[in-house]
Amino acid sequence: MTTKTNAAFHIFFLAVFISCNTGSSSNDHTTWSQYGGGADQSKYFDAHQITKENVGQMEIAWTYPSGDDLSYFFSPIVVDTTMYVLGKNFSLIAVNVVTRKEIWIHANLQGLTRRGINYWESEDQKDKRLIFTLNNTLQAIDAATGKSIMSFGDGGYVDLREGLDRDPSSIRRMQAMMPGVIYDDLVIVGSAPGESYFSPPGYVRAYNVVTGKLAWTFHTIPHPGEFGYDTWPKDAYKYVGGVNVWSEISVDPERGIAYLPLGSPTYDYYGADRVGSNLFGNSLVALDARTGKRLWHFQTVHHDLWDYDLSPAPQLLTVNRNGKSIDAVGLATKHGFVFVFDRVTGEPVFPIEEKPFPASEMPGEKSWPTQPISSLPSFTRHEVTKETLNPYFSDSVKQQWHRRLEAGKSGLYVPPSDKYETIMMPGALGGANYGNTAADPKNGIMYIMTQEYASIYKLEKVGPPKIDLSANEVKKVRSFYSSNCQTCHGENMDGGAGPSLVNVGQRIFWDEFKGIVTNGSGQMPGFSHIDEETLRGLYRYFGGNPRSFGFGRRGNENTTPDGPVVATGGAKIKPDAKRNAPMLDYPEGVEHPASRYTTDYGLEWMGLLSPPWSSILAYDLNDGTIKWRQPIGEDSLFVQGDKTKGAPSGTQRKGMVVTSTGIVFATAKGGKVYAFDADNGNILWETTLSNESNAQPIMYTLNGKQYLVISATSNFMRDSYDHSKKPGALPKGYVVYALPDRE
């Protein structure tokens, strides 16, 4: 639904427009000082040296090795002649792009924002700061010296766990993978509070970049008296979590409007405790960036039961529709739809129709009877059938899937069930995901990376965690627990001097669990002697799955790298006086269903459908058509050497750079880097990295020369060709491409 505009709104907005333009500068797209280039997250760069005619000559100009064997997902930024990167055991490093030498190293920032950082400078350019999140705190580093700014917040940091309607000491995860966005003297940040029952809410907040003082909070799960409160059960904000921006926030710096792509409420797949449409879950929300006041919104999924978060950046661009120029915002979704709105009023530029869909059969569940369907063509398929199964499957696998499809259900918005499998297409990682949108802001073209990746769901009633261990493994795990854990956490894992560990594996990721056990946390010592088999068994014993999503291998927090180290560890975070257990049940007096149900992400079947599996496409938002589409990526899973199929998975962590000369640079699975003709999708240049890239590529200029930077700092997946083992392969690091110098 969208709010309706009226005269009062226009008067209010005009006042906002005037006030927010005082001291605000628009993004001219000639620098790359924020994650997506600038505040609009367009990944667009205005420079003219690299053209369609000469891009094929690009070669490696220089490299900066990350200095270890860890995998990073970090996207660098460049300010003047300094590039800021992550490497050397999770150290933040300033590199001079002229001399290619290190300026400073702030070591051991384990837990730094996974995907990047923010840069801010004062009008007189005397105060230059790097703003980032670190282990659930917001911190600032002096961009010139690399040292923590201790006047920021309380002793150098702001605790992001505070102000969330939960006990802060009970919150284990809060910071997002993305760095947020800078608007004037504010940093606007999202969160990643987890997707379990009783996860914290994902309120969006803005802080002053100088003082760290909270400027505003937008309650994504409304409080009593706030707009949208009646779309939930009474007091839902006390126990429902999620509804968070875990990805990219876009800002129109000239108008002072922030566009939030919000995620699903928890629990994602069963919502009997959140009957209603659940605003602002799965909504695009436009806020006054200065005050956090809602201007308009549109909900793309009512009462989400399919984990269809809005994760790609909303793209701000000007479209020409029926002879009228409209400043618009375009949104691509996980489930393959494109929605386009007037950037100011929120009115749809193309029609959207509410269509009926099947009702849920689960006890207590009340799925929403209709869902909004865009009139624009979808860019993914929405059903798995016998005819659309992967033709490269063996006959036995095909027959297995024929039986599963006959017994289960597939199709758009089929509610999950505990009676049969729901084969959802796209699934939790399908369609467009974070980093997967870019735009040419002036000509109305949005570029989308997408993949055909299904999820298979089947709900199960929540009970004691299943211990998928042999008798010998259980004996080994219990022996370790009784010797090392029982004194603090109790014989039955229900807590004592330490917090309860009941179902802890369902509340934290494997990588976080591994780091806590091996390295220690707070008063808890580390058990570095524990072997991997016992560690994985212990995690499963606590109800976890070591294959669940994590955040990459951890570094050694006691290692100091070589080079100009100026500081280590960021601002020192004070330990909690007492670390309480995460919220495990509904608050007293709150009505709730008798049982809870869960499912896993069901992602074990890559390439379930026929190819192409992964693509990049140009969406013309002037007339609502797909101009061109090209497969991207490669792997060794099904097809070898066939560039027409794309990769069955892996593109969701990639990115693009769109240039003013009509080139779209894109990374893809298998270490692939492409340059596409923005007009027709023809490949103008292609190369293969020595290591995988799971980060946003960037661009900068120096003395008129144009450079493309790729963060090739990740391991190849097991179903990829491993180019790191080939003769002449480069070490992990940041690879910089440019045209050759003229003689």
Q: What is the pLDDT of residue 425?
A: 95
Q: Judge whether residue 604 has pLDDT over 90.
A: no
Average pLDDT, integer, range 563-583: 90
Q: Which of 22-31, 112-121, 304-313 has the lowest mean pLDDT?
A: 22-31
The Cα–Cα gap between 695 and 637 comes to 23
Confidence tier at 420 by pLDDT (50, 70, 90): very high
3-state helix, strand, coil in the chain (%, to 5): 10, 30, 60
- Taking phi over 0 as left and psi of -120 to 50 as alpha, with beta for the rest, 607 belongs to left
The Cα–Cα gap between 374 and 370 comes to 13
The Cα–Cα gap between 305 and 412 comes to 11
Confidence tier at 557 by pLDDT (50, 70, 90): low
The Cα–Cα gap between 245 and 273 comes to 22
The count of other CB atoms within 10 Å of the CB of residue 18 is 10
Confidence tier at 463 by pLDDT (50, 70, 90): confident
| Residue 384 identity (one-letter amino acid) | V
Q: What is the pLDDT of residue 468?
A: 63
Pick 7-365+378-459+602-678+694-738's CATH classification: 2.60.120.10, 3.30.43.10, 3.30.70.920, 2.140.10.10: 2.140.10.10
Cα–Cα distances (Å) from 12 to 5, 295, 346, in that order, read: 11, 10, 15
What's the token pair of residue 289? Answer: 């960036």
Which of 167 and 546 is assigned the larger pLDDT? 167
- Exposure b/e, 372-390, CB count within 10 A at least 16 = b: bbbebebbbbbbbeeeebb
Q: Which of 393-407, 473-487, 681-695, 703-717 has the lowest mean pLDDT?
A: 473-487
Cα–Cα distances (Å) from 341 to 10, 251, 443, 466, in that order, read: 17, 15, 16, 46
Domain pair 7-365+378-459+602-678+694-738 / 466-502+510-548, same fold? no
The Cα–Cα gap between 337 and 377 comes to 7
Q: What is the pLDDT of residue 54?
A: 98
Confidence tier at 489 by pLDDT (50, 70, 90): confident
Which of 229 and 521 is assigned the larger pLDDT? 229
Pairing of strands 422-424, 437-440: unpaired
- Taking phi over 0 as left and psi of -120 to 50 as alpha, with beta for the rest, 701 belongs to beta
The Cα–Cα gap between 39 and 218 comes to 19
Token pair 């840069």: residue? 119
The Cα–Cα gap between 189 and 204 comes to 6
Pick the closest to residue 440 from 316, 338, 601 (CA basis). Answer: 316
The Cα–Cα gap between 78 and 85 comes to 9
What's the token pair of residue 381? Answer: 């398929």
| Cis peptide bond N-terminal to 391, omega within 30 | no
Q: What is the pLDDT of residues 8-20, one digit of tens each?
A: 444 344 333 333 3
Domain ranges, ordered by start, for the chain: 7-365+378-459+602-678+694-738, 466-502+510-548
Q: pTM for the whole thing?
A: 0.88
Q: What is the pLDDT of residue 324?
A: 95
What's the token pair of residue 354? Answer: 């509410």
Q: Which of 75-89, 93-107, 158-172 has the lowest mean pLDDT?
A: 158-172
The Cα–Cα gap between 548 and 550 comes to 6
Q: Judge whether residue 42 has pLDDT over 60.
A: yes
In CATH terms, the superfamily for domain 466-502+510-548 is Cytochrome c-like domain (1.10.760.10)
What's the token pair of residue 475? Answer: 């004996």
Look up residue 510 and give its DSSP letter.
H
The Cα–Cα gap between 640 and 238 comes to 52
Helices 532-541 and 510-519 cross at an angle (nearest 10°) of 120
The count of other CB atoms within 10 Å of the CB of residue 661 is 18
Pick the closest to residue 161 from 214, 211, 96, 108 (CA basis). Answer: 214
Q: What is the pLDDT of residue 580?
A: 82
Structural element, H or E, at residue 307: none
Q: What is the pLDDT of residue 542?
A: 78
